[in-house]
Structure 1
Amino acid sequence: MFKKISLFFIITVGFSSVYAQQNIPFRITKYNNIIVKTLVNKKDSLDLMFQIAMKDASISPDRQRKTDHIVFNKDGISENNTVQIGKFTLNNVQFFDHELTGHEADGKIGTAMFSGKAFKIDYDNNRFVIYDKQPDLEGYQPITLLYDHEQFFIAGDNVIGDQQEEAYFLLQSGYAGGLLYSNEFADAKGLDKKLKITGEKTLKNSSGKSVVTKQGVLPNFKLGNAVLKDVSAGFFAGDLKTQTVNYFGADMLRRFNWIFDADRKTAYIKPSKYFSEPYYKIN
């Protein structure tokens, strides 16, 4: 993994002395992506996709809305921007240009808007909650976080055949599907033979080398004491194998409400209203 450029947001928030929290509304697309409506530099109205696997912000080359007031230098970086999300304001925001994002989004925004605070992804009520004090954890179970290079990793148990295999997964809200396995894990565990394969697609690059994506069904996946059945699980085959980490995608993330502690050492999860919904199908 490559270390990403750190970004520090100065967050100006007025916390209620009673509730000690700030709410930020979002919407969920049919691709399971979280979209927040923003006003950048008090001029550009943009829909930005929340990307939990990054801390910075970025603009997509496929954006639908104008970004006339975000000025990039020759390296494709724009500094000292403000981002308003409702009554919530971020100052000194750094944007990167020409980074692909999810459907219906003009760019991405990362986790720096929660810098130094505990925060909640509340899928039941379509909102983020930023806490100034210890949140109410009733009904939640703790799971250990590995926070590395500003990215979140969790351990989950994969039941493959008669074996239970633990693996670490990167929380990846930009991937619409369920689980996506690294090449190393897929090859070592023989997923091509052990999973029920439901779909396959082959692409070739300019050199004629093939990239094969396969979709399968994992009988059981355990996160903490929560067990999900018949989970959608993808992996790569063919000549080119570039997937270096396992993904815990947006379709899995939405099945829980999440609270992340301020130290980024523990996450607390509770099944959301999407826990038993049908799995997203990768085309």
Structure 2
Amino acid sequence: MKYILAFLLSIFSLIQIMAQKKLPVIKANSPKAIFIEEDNGLKTDWNIDPSIKPDAYIVSKISKGSKTVKIKTDIDSIKITVKKGENKDFVILLKDKDSCLTRIESQAPKNFSTVKPAFHDSIRLGINEQNTMFVKAALNKTDSLILNFDTGTSNLSLTAEALKDKIKQSLKAGVNVLSIGNKKYYGFKIYKVELSGHGTDGRFGWDLFDGMVVELNYDHGTMVVHSQLPEYVKKDKAYEPLNIKYFNKVFFVETTIKQGSKTNKDWFLFDTGYQRTAMLDGPLLREQNFPTDQMKIIKKVIMKGGQGNEIPVITANLESLSLGKYNLKNIPAQLLSESRPIMDKKMNILGNEILKRFNIFLDFQNNVVYIKPNKLFNDEYIEKQ
């Protein structure tokens, strides 16, 4: 019996070796490549390095099904498809001599729906006149902070002023703890920024809650972190579901805008950290034949970017903007005369002057946003006051 077992083990080892030898191979003469996620267009410049084995490219979070990545070298290309939580290896043969083991990696999805006991952590949610929503938090149990929940970013960013005046202890990568409400969050990176939402010490991103469900209830002034989506949300027909698409470390929802006879449907960045209505990329919309020249100009201003850079912005009247079945009219939207690519991608942005008009459930388990109009839905826009 033991000889049979040894024989089977040897056969299994041989099969593994043969499988490894049959890894897909593409060739390259240059150490530079490009990785392109086909569902969202994310392009990443890649350095081919034979000393790293495997050299892993981590794809954006997969909402549904699978994701295909196209890898292009200077002389060859290949497409690799991965499912949620799956890794696939291939070899880039550099200059016909260096075998570079490369991996396309999809991180295993997080899901807290089976956690016992279930949690529903309620936190006081504030919003100021500048549309910055904020919560109280503590970093490493001692440093009290006011932070903006910014779905247009990831990890934790603190202003230079907060790092200087409010952080009393040294920060060590990988061991910091952020306390919000009754829960503690780990595994995030900390970045230094020049600016944050008005009156805040910094901002934290949606990925802190990956695998959870976040409720933003402006009627009650609460933010609730749930281990699973409450049953009543799906039963309440007033809640409109919007599918999520991930791009690198941010997420988008489908949005429809209309001007005159022209309707345009596209994916907009869902950005609670952007304080205004919507930021429209003028050149992108013109490429899509959207008549931005028909939008009546309200005013022109210079806006500060996240790093203090100046951006000229025109505020113009957008006739209509729809999220699912809900429609808003005559929105004073910010219209960029020049594209402002984020992560090398032209995009339009939904800001909190629109998003605050809905009570929201962000379901990061099933990758769906649920929205329902709240008491702010018919309020006059700040730009028009």
Which residue does the alignment assign to 1:253?
A: 355
**Structure 2: gaps (5+ residues):** 1-41, 45-57, 62-106, 304-309
Contact in 2 for aligned 1:46/1:65 (Cα 8 Å): no
TM superposition shift of 1:133: 3.1
Change (3 A) 1:235 1:228: same
Aligned-pair Cα RMSD in Å? 3.2
Residue 144 of structure 1 aligns to which amino acid in structure 2? N
Paired position in structure 1 for 2:205: 110
Tell me the residue number matched to 1:277.
Answer: 379
SS at match of 2:151: coil
Determine whether 1:242 maps to 2:340: yes
Match of 1:94 in 2: 189
Matched, 1:215 2:215: no
| Structure 1 residue 162 corresponds to structure 2 residue 261 | yes
1:32 partnered with 2:131: yes
Q: CA deviation at 1:2?
A: 7.5
Are the equivalent residues in 1 in contact too, given 2:147–2:204 (CA < 8 A)? yes
Q: TM-score w.r.t. structure 1 length?
A: 0.82
* Inter-partner Cα distance in structure 2 for 1:242 and 1:112: 24
Point out where structure 1 has 5 or more consecutive residues left out of the alignment.
73-77, 204-209
- Using structure 2 for the length normalisation, give the TM-score: 0.62
What secondary structure does 2:175 align onto?
A: strand
8 A Cα contact 1:42 1:82, kept in partner: yes
Identity of aligned residues (%): 23
**TM-fit CA distance, 1:71:** 2.5
8 Å CA contact retained: 1:52, 1:172: yes
Match of 1:43 in 2: 142
Contact 1:120–1:130, Cα closer than 8 Å, also in 2:
yes
**Is contact 2:262–2:290 with CA below 8 Å preserved after alignment?**
no
Superposed, 1:1-283 pairs within 5 Å as 20-63=119-162, 65-71=165-171, 78-135=173-230, 136-137=232-233, 138=236, 139-188=238-287, 189=289, 191-201=291-301, 212-237=312-337, 241-243=339-341, 244-281=346-383
In structure 2, give the amino acid aligned to 1:45. Answer: S
Residues 115, 282 of structure 1: CA spacing in aligned structure 2 closer, same or farther, 3 A cutoff? farther
Please give the secondary structure, in 2, of the residue aligned with 1:104: coil
Q: Give 1:250 deviation, angstroms.
A: 1.0
Aligned to 2:340, what secondary structure does the other structure show?
Answer: coil
Secondary structure of the corresponding residue to residue 186 of structure 2 = strand
- Summarize deviations over 1:106-143 as a string: whole Å, max 9, x none: 11111233221122121222222222233121131212
Aligned residues of 2:284 and 2:339 also touching (Cα < 8 A): no
Q: 1:232 to 1:129 in 2, by over 3 A?
A: same
Deviations along 1:255-275, one digit per CA (max 9) or x if unpaired, are 111112233532111011111
Number of residue pairs matched by the alignment: 266
Give the Cα separation in 2 of the matches to 1:193 and 1:262. Answer: 38
Higher normalized helix content (fraction of residues): 2
- TM-superposed CA distance for 1:81, in Å, is 0.9
Q: Distance in 2 between matches of 1:16 and 1:231?
A: 44
- Is the 2:332–2:384 Cα contact (8 Å) retained in structure 1? no
Judging changes above 3 Å, is the alpha-carbon distance between structure 1 residues 82 and 20 closer, same or farther for their aligned structure 2 residues? closer
Matches of 2:170 and 2:195, distance apart in 1 = 17
1:252–1:34 Cα change, 3 Å:
same
Question: What is the CA distance between 1:98 and its match in structure 2?
Answer: 2.8
Instruction: Return the alpha-carbon distance in structure 1 between the equivalents of residues 311 and 186 of structure 2.
Output: 42
Q: Which runs of 4+ in 1 moved over 6 A?
A: 2-8
Kindly tell me: are residues 194 and 70 of structure 1, through their superposed partners in 2, closer, same or farther at Cα, counting changes over 3 Å?
Answer: farther
Greater RCO, CA 8 A, separation 6+: 1
SS of the residue aligned with 1:252?
helix
Question: For 1:81, what is the secondary structure of its paired residue?
Answer: coil
Amino acid at match of 1:198: I
Look up the equivalent residue of 1:95 and give its one-letter code. I
Distance 1:48 1:2, change over 3 A: farther
Deviation at 1:280, TM superposition (A): 2.4
Q: Any idea what the Cα deviations from partners look like across 1:206-240, whole Å, max 9, x if unmatched?
A: xxxx9531001111111111111111211122xx5
Q: Kindly state the Cα deviation for residue 70 of structure 1 after the two structures are TM-superposed.
A: 4.4
Contact 1:146 1:154 in 2 (8 A): yes
Counterpart of 1:79 in 2: which secondary structure? coil
1:169 and 1:271 map into 2 onto residues whose CA distance is: 19
CA deviation vs aligned residue, 1:83-124 (integer Å, no higher than 9, x gap): 122322223443112353111011111123322112212122
